[in-house]
Chain A
Amino acid sequence: MMYYSRKKLALVILTCFIGLLLCLPNFMSAPSPKIPWRQVHLGLDLRGGSYLLMQVDVNTITKNRLQTLSDNIRQTLISKNLGYKNIHSSLPNHTITFTLRSPSEKEAVLKALREMPKAVMNEFNVSADNNNQIILTLSEEAMKQRASEAITQSIEIVRRRIDATGAVDPSITRQGDDRIVVQLPGISDPNRIKQLLGTTAKMTFHLLDETATNPDFPPPGVTFLPMADDPARKLPVRDHIEVDGAELTSASAGMDQQNGEYAVNFQFDTAGAQAFASVTRANVGKPFAIVLDNKVITAPVINTPITGGSGQITGHFTPQQATDLALLLRAGALPAPLKVMEERTIGPSLGLDAIKAGGISLAVGFALVIVFMLVFYGRFGFYADIALFANLILMTAILSLFQATLTLPGMAGMLLTLGMAVDANILINERIREEVRNGRNPLNALQAGFDRALSTIIDSNVTAFLSHVMLFIFGTGPVRGFALTITIGIVTTLFTTLCLSWMLIIRWYAVTRPKELPI
């Protein structure tokens, strides 16, 4: 232990030097893009911005799935000429139930269900009871799978929508089974984003049923939907979707040539254009409703067939509304509504104050520890101080390398690490002191002191390490950032103490060969 090869020496110094290099970009305002240097990310609490925790409405996904399946079953049974009664789905039970026309058809119905596409039938368990009822239950796994797909898809759409607003450096991540975390640095009023994300933006084109007049008793297959700009007015919209907004290829805000109002122009893909053309050709003179999230935006009368695959939506928009609607249509519809569960906004000035306060605390705390070590441990304390300085640099370097996010609690974690970092040095120094008191010569005292302190150092650090790893795994938000900095701090502390400062002590001993230790 008392011999340090030059190779080892070089390695330790090289590590510190690399650390210093990795640390440097943090002091530049904008590191050159040519060099892959990385900076520590500042958390929203330090730079200001908005944090939104959103939840995907899993119920809607299940409801939609049950709806689609009911339709499929209906069609299958009709095509096979099998009778059914009273088909209905239950959301809380995740089931679809229907009654057979006659018990004799039971086998034929079950066979027909089994022959439905695999992709559909794999999601359900089919059972029949004694009362001629067939029950289809959505399986737990299928629901999880659907929800998971919905989250992935929602994240993609949320990203597209936010990117389109020009937000700088947004971060969109998944949390748990059904949540999305959106972080928007620099945005101190998240209202517009919240509105954008709060809209499902499912756009569909429907024909109206002009024979229906009483909103309280709509005929089958017709729903009375409110107008977007006048909810009191309700139109009888046929449930059948003539054209789906998912078939749009582009949408942009513009002006209506005729009346100068703001409008949204859109363009369909080939399939959409064909569908649009055939519907408009067959229904000239009838109103055509454009429905967005169960509200009728507009229901113009079709004057001439629209064959070019492009159209226009007008609806007394403000410029902002037109821009946002175009943006939503371009980005696509969310598979299910998103609800804001948690919102945090920190103004930029508060972030700056926090950095300043944290910086001052760090500097003063650092200085106090350095002086303490010099006063109470002399030369050995000085070596500990060098290690402490290296520790600070290495911690910053590793945080930069991982591009970890530094938060306010993270800064507190760094500060505490600095306080604890000299513990290993203190343990070694105290041991050496004891060995000197026991009458050992300097060389033996150094060696025995280090060896004996080592197991204590390992024990105390491994305990701390384990509990902070736990904290990182199970913690959320600020707790995580805190645990991360401390975990990294423990690793760098072990390195700087056991390698760097101990090496300095040994080099000093090898050069001066003192008769007694300054301890």
Chain B
Amino acid sequence: MLGRPLLHLVPNGTKIHFMRGRFIGLITSAVLSIASIILFFHPGLTLGLDFRGGIVVEAQTQGPADFTKIRQELTQAHISAAGLQQFGANNSVLIRLDAPKENNAEATQTLITDVKQAILAAHDGTKIVRADAVGASVSSELFRNGLLALGLSLLMIMFYIWFRFEWEFAVSAIITLVLDLTKAIGFLVITRFEFDLVMVAALLTILGYSTNDKVVVYDRVRENLRKYHSMPIRELIDMSINETLSRTLATSATVFLAALPLALFGGASLSGFAWVMLFGIVVGTSSSIFIAAPLLLFMEEGSLRRRAKKTQ
């Protein structure tokens, strides 16, 4: 075992002409991203408690839950528009309510107590597994902070790449990252995973991972720009992608393998996060190859070389 590797991920001397597919790649990506943006506005993200505000009570009844009875109790307590659903096992109940509009802090507080009492009245010996209440003002604040974190991360990444590479690289990277992010949001809309703070963390991870992947390819492009003065830029980018392909795939594979069990066994609260991650890994890896590098081709070749020389 401790000898040579059993397998190579990419055979030695692989030469794939990625640049030939650059338009297909870009168009596919653009179409998917535009579709995602449309999905974002209609039907829109399923906002989780963090961002929507409101109440979520998860309870475990002894024996199968009687939904009709719980609904009756809630109606009796004058609680309307309660989203009531089974959550996993048949003795698991999830009750959702929107935040009351008037006087949110106190009204929310009364409401959560009432909901708890209603479900306890419907089933004796019920255990409240989780009870969350987020006021409307806090939720909008959390939403703003979440977006701020995403925006600032993008900005930081752009400046770092600009500083370490050149603006052409930074611009290409940011365009690619925005394309990646929009697709992840589209994925969230389609899968109806709840968008909450944990999902912001997932999106940021995708951002970080995707940047990481791009930096490695860019690094090689820059190195080759210095090394091969007369090679056409198209060939040069193809070569760089091929040279880093093995690493790109291997790292994607390890991150994918690490996140996969989380998606499968992570439980309700983390599997959504992990699925979004897995989606992001696939998108991020493919965009390094089919989007980020080809975008460089559209930048002015002469300036790329001059700058590469200058920073030698």
Binding site for B on A (CB under 8 A): 45, 53, 55, 188-189, 191, 194, 339-347, 349-350, 353-354, 357-358, 360-366, 368-369, 372-382, 408-409, 411-413, 415-416, 418-420, 422-423, 426-427, 430, 433-434, 437, 452, 455-456, 459-464, 466-468, 470-471, 474-479, 482-483, 486, 518-519
Is B157 an interface residue when CB atoms closer than 8 A count as contact? yes
Q: Can you report 27 A-B residue pairs in the complex whose CB atoms are below 8 A from each other?
A: A341-B134, A341-B137, A343-B133, A344-B134, A358-B262, A361-B270, A365-B257, A365-B261, A368-B261, A372-B253, A373-B254, A376-B8, A378-B2, A378-B3, A379-B2, A379-B3, A412-B273, A415-B262, A416-B255, A426-B254, A427-B247, A461-B212, A467-B211, A475-B145, A479-B197, A479-B204, A482-B198
Residues of A within 8 A of B200 (CB): 475, 479
Secondary structure at the A interface, as helix, strand, loop or mixed, is helix
B109/A518 in contact, CB under 8 A: no
Residues of B within 8 A of A45 (CB): 269
**Given A53-B138, A55-B105, A412-B274, does the pair A467, B153 have CB atoms closer than 8 Å?**
yes
B212/A470 in contact, CB under 8 A: no
Q: Which of B1-22 contact A (CB under 8 A)?
A: 1-9, 12
Residue of A with least CB distance to B146: A479
A460/B215 in contact, CB under 8 A: yes
Residues of A within 8 A of B277 (CB): 416
Given contacts A433-B246, A483-B204, A518-B3, 4 further A-B contacts (CB under 8 A): A344-B133, A347-B130, A419-B259, A475-B149
CB distance from A491 to the nearest CB of B (A): 15
Is B121 an interface residue when CB atoms closer than 8 A count as contact? no
Residues of A within 8 A of B235 (CB): none
Give the 3 A-B residue pairs with the shortest CB-CB distance, closest first. Answer: A419-B258, A419-B255, A364-B261
Residues of B within 8 A of A344 (CB): 130-134
**Given A347-B127, A354-B267, A364-B265, does the pair A426, B251 have CB atoms closer than 8 Å?**
yes
A282-B109 Cα distance, complex, nearest whole Å: 45
Is B193 an interface residue when CB atoms closer than 8 A count as contact? no
Is B207 an interface residue when CB atoms closer than 8 A count as contact? yes
Q: Which of B109-159 contact A (CB under 8 A)?
A: 109, 112-113, 127-135, 137-138, 142, 145-146, 148-149, 152-153, 156-157
Is B63 an interface residue when CB atoms closer than 8 A count as contact? no
Is B216 an interface residue when CB atoms closer than 8 A count as contact? yes
B265/A347 in contact, CB under 8 A: no
Contact with A along B267-285 (1 / 0, CB 8 A): 1011001100100000000
The answer, among A379, A408, A479, for a CB contact under 8 Å with B270, is A408
Residue of A with least CB distance to B273: A412
Residues of A within 8 A of B91 (CB): none
A194/B135 in contact, CB under 8 A: no
Is B106 an interface residue when CB atoms closer than 8 A count as contact? yes
Q: Which of A191, A357, A419 is packed against the most chain B CB atoms within 10 Å? A: A419
Residue of B with least CB distance to A355: B267
A476-B108 Cα distance, complex, nearest whole Å: 22
B266/A365 in contact, CB under 8 A: no
Q: Which of B2, B131, B148, B258 is packed against the most chain A CB atoms within 10 Å? A: B258
A427/B216 in contact, CB under 8 A: yes
Residues of B within 8 A of A189 (CB): 128
Residues of B within 8 A of A474 (CB): 145, 148-149, 152
Binding site for A on B (CB under 8 A): 1-9, 12, 58, 60, 105-106, 108-109, 112-113, 127-135, 137-138, 142, 145-146, 148-149, 152-153, 156-157, 160-161, 164, 197-198, 200-201, 204-205, 207-209, 211-212, 215-216, 219-220, 223, 243-244, 246-247, 250-251, 253-262, 264-267, 269-270, 273-274, 277
The answer, among A341, A358, A419, A486, for a CB contact under 8 Å with B254, is A419
Residues of A within 8 A of B4 (CB): 378-379, 518-519
Residues of B within 8 A of A437 (CB): 12
A375-B4 Cα distance, complex, nearest whole Å: 9
Residues of B within 8 A of A470 (CB): 149, 152-153, 156
**Given A379-B2, A426-B247, does the pair A354, B269 have CB atoms closer than 8 Å?**
yes
The answer, among A372, A408, A411, A479, for a CB contact under 8 Å with B149, is A479
A339/B259 in contact, CB under 8 A: no
B5/A376 in contact, CB under 8 A: yes
Residues of B within 8 A of A476 (CB): 142, 145, 197
Residue of B with least CB distance to A452: B223
A426-B256 Cα distance, complex, nearest whole Å: 15
B257/A345 in contact, CB under 8 A: no
**Given A345-B128, A456-B219, A464-B208, does the pair A375, B6 have CB atoms closer than 8 Å?**
yes
The answer, among A341, A375, A461, A468, for a CB contact under 8 Å with B135, is A341
A343/B112 in contact, CB under 8 A: yes
Residues of A within 8 A of B274 (CB): 361, 412
CB distance from A371 to the nearest CB of B (A): 9
Residues of A within 8 A of B246 (CB): 430, 433
B5/A415 in contact, CB under 8 A: no
A372/B257 in contact, CB under 8 A: yes
Residues of A within 8 A of B8 (CB): 376
Residues of B within 8 A of A415 (CB): 258-259, 262
A408-B271 Cα distance, complex, nearest whole Å: 11
Residues of B within 8 A of A363 (CB): 261
Q: Which of A357, A375, A412, A478 is packed against the most chain B CB atoms within 10 Å? A: A412
CB distance from B60 to the nearest CB of A (A): 8
CB distance from A94 to the nearest CB of B (A): 22
A482/B201 in contact, CB under 8 A: yes
Residues of A within 8 A of B131 (CB): 343-345
The answer, among B7, B9, B137, B212, for a CB contact under 8 Å with A460, is B212
